[in-house]
Amino acid sequence: GVRACQPASAAMGDLEPDLDVAGLDAAFNGALHLEEKHLDEGWEDGLREGEKLGHLDGREVGFAKGFEVGQELGFYAGCHAVWVKCVKEDPECFSERARKGIASFGAMLETFPISDPLNEEILETLNGVRGKFKTIVALLGMHHEYNPQETKLSLTF
């Protein structure tokens, strides 16, 4: 009998009735903030993975856009080469104004920053080339603009 009347703390051994509150708080805080910790870790993992995928996607889009710009410039360079050949064979085949336009168009093509893809003015320069092309085409009495669908070759291998 005597043991049955003792307080629970005395029956379990000499546990102090004042528990270590700071230790319990720390344990519960760790458990309570577990979800937040996992969210933060997930965010960091997602950010790293997103940056990796963004670089891959950016590379693919950049490659495709670079190809399109190169294709368009190739078209313009081909037109310029034909016009220059016409002028060499018959200097009077085009008006003086058209010949000057063709010469300045060639200079624009030669100075185009094709080997500097990080040049921030590349699209502005390309718009200038497009405008000059349209001017020359109008001076020559032609009505044409660059259309990549028309320039595709039907080659098979």
For 100-117, give the DSSP string.
HHHHHHHHHHHT--TT-T
Residue 14 is predicted with a pLDDT of 52
Taking alpha carbons only, the member of 138, 125, 142, 136 closest to residue 84 is 136
Mean pLDDT of 61-80: 92
Whether 117 shows a pLDDT value over 90: the answer reads no
| pLDDT given for residue 40 in this prediction | 86
pLDDT at 145: 67
Across all residues in the chain, what is the average pLDDT?
82
Is pLDDT larger for residue 26 or for residue 43? 43
Query: Quick check: 35 pLDDT over 90?
Result: no
Q: What is the mean pLDDT of residues 119-146?
A: 89
Please tell me the distance from the alpha carbon of residue 151 to that of residue 74, in angstroms, as a whole number. Answer: 10
pLDDT at 36: 83
CB distance 141 to 128 below 8 Å: no
Handedness of CA 127, 130, 136, 141 (dihedral sign): negative
Q: Does residue 22 have a pLDDT over 80?
A: no
Angstrom distance (rounded) from CA 8 to CA 13: 9
Q: What is the pLDDT of residue 23?
A: 73
pLDDT band at 156 (very low <50, low <70, confident <90, very high): low
16 residue type, one letter: E
48-57, 74-83, 147-156: lowest mean pLDDT where?
147-156
User: pLDDT-derived band of residue 17, with 50, 70 and 90 as boundaries?
Assistant: low
Residues contacting 5, CB < 8 A, separation 6+: none
Which of 10 and 21 is assigned the larger pLDDT?
A: 21
**pTM over 0.85, yes/no:** no
CA atoms within 13 A on the CB side of 154: 2
pLDDT score of 4: 52
